[in-house]
Amino acid sequence: MVTKTKAEEAVNGKERPLFEAARKVLLASIGAVALAQDEIEDFVQRLVERGEIAEKDGRKLIKEMQERRKKGTEEAEEQLSKTVEEILDRMNVPTKADIKALGDKITVLSKKVDELKKAKE
């Protein structure tokens, strides 16, 4: 019987609760933002139709809301990225930069080993 390691299970999607939870939250957030945007546009359109605000002001209001949403989304992305980095750091998961640095060191060491082999010959 072949048993899989936790890492193999995580890669195959069987054990990734943090990833799945984050994915669900992000999908729900995207849906909420899209719904809110539609609701804002409908509300402003009704105000314009009733003559309570000018069409120009309605467009300005919608644009302002879109800019605020964009800024909020960017801030949320930054915070999520920071949180994920902190979690990975606590779990001692190497970053792409760490792996690249190790690869560079291996390359340098390999060259030195080759030079030593040539020097012995």
pLDDT digit string, tens, across residues 49-102: 888 888 888 888 888 888 888 888 888 888 888 888 888 888 888 888 899 999
Q: What is the pLDDT of residue 15?
A: 53
22-29: average pLDDT: 77
CA distance 15 to 106: 32
Instruction: Give the percent of the chain with pLDDT over 70.
Output: 87
Q: How far is CA 105 from CA 2, 39, 96, 98, in A?
A: 35, 55, 14, 11
Place of tokens 């936790």: 6
- The pLDDT confidence band at residue 13, using thresholds 50, 70 and 90, is very low
